[in-house]
């Protein structure tokens, strides 16, 4: 199986590059080869590479910045996935697209199912939803994989931020009323590779959820990071109202991942194991 991956330096793309099993190869397109701010260029780049499936692991992920740069975020998260999907439909190859829990309104306490009504709270969520809708409308065979709280040893993420601040300060205030699940990028990469193979073999795609387990809060996740890293930094619980951000965050990011496990045989990964692997890599 040969994959064409949009993305090169992001967390999921970097893990995909490191985790290709025997019999699977991939070409990775970074911004120089396919700038997602130019949807026509994205479609042209796809047409120049023969592949069995396409993985879109690139996105505009600056959530707060999307509030002031809505058009730019929409080109990357909405228009370019639409262009990919149309090209994949024309070539009859599947498209695997990474999306987010931010397409929901974050209300309640129950995990969101894939068919739950969407109602994004912020511009980032609206642009990601636009990408999803365009993919479904394209007629392409597809898998939209929504995930949450992505972490790894690469790039900018909550684990690395907590480690940096925890080494500098005796205590930190962390939001304790937002619930969800950290998801190691390595596990997302493995899930994409396995599901890409299944789609190439004729499996049905659709919209699915994939997130780590167990569900937690940002504050409790921070405590787990400090404990695993051996840092004495204390974590103080605060409400979201005490840490205002330009973009509203969902209070409930829990995702029901049972359908993905049922259809693809891929269980939710334990993020505590992923955290141990991330810390081991960072120490090395």
Return the active site residues: 124
List of residues 6+ apart from 188 with CB closer than 8 A: 12, 15, 98, 145, 147, 150, 210
- Angle, helices 80-91 vs 123-138, to 10°: value is 20
The answer to whether residues 131 and 146 touch, using CB atoms and an 8 Å cutoff, is no
List of residues 6+ apart from 232 with CB closer than 8 A: 170, 226
Token pair belonging to 210 = 């994939």
- Angle, helices 218-229 vs 271-283, to 10°: value is 40
């Amino acid at each position: 199986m040969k994959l064409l991956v949009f993305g090169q330096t992001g967390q999921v793309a970097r893990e995909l590059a490191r985790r290709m099993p025997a019999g699977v190869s991939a070409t990775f397109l970074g911004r120089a080869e396919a700038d997602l701010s130019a949807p026509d260029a994205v479609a042209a780049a796809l047409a120049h590479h023969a592949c069995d499936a396409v993985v879109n692991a690139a996105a505009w992920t600056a959530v707060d910045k999307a509030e002031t740069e809505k058009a730019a975020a929409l080109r990357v998260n909405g228009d370019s996935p639409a262009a990919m999907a149309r090209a994949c439909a024309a070539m009859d190859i599947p498209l695997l697209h990474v999306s987010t829990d931010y397409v929901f309104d974050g209300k309640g306490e129950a995990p969101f199912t894939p068919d739950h009504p969407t109602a994004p709270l912020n511009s980032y969520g609206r642009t990601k939803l636009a990408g999803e809708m365009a993919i479904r409308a394209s007629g392409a065979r597809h898998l939209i994989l929504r995930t949450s709280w992505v972490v790894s040893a690469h790039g900018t993420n909550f684990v690395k931020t907590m480690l940096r601040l925890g080494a500098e300060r005796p205590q930190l205030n962390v939001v304790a009323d937002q619930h969800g699940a950290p998801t190691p990028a390595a596990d997302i990469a493995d899930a994409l590779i396995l599901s890409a193979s299944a789609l190439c073999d004729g499996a049905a795609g659709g919209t699915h959820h994939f997130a780590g387990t167990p569900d937690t809060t940002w504050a409790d996740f921070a405590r787990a990071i400090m404990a695993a890293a051996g840092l004495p930094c204390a974590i103080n619980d605060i409400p979201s109202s005490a840490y205002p951000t330009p973009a509203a965050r969902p209070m409930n990011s829990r995702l029901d991942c049972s359908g993905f496990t049922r259809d693809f045989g891929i269980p939710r990964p334990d993020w505590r194991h992923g955290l141990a692997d991330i810390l081991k890599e960072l120490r090395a």
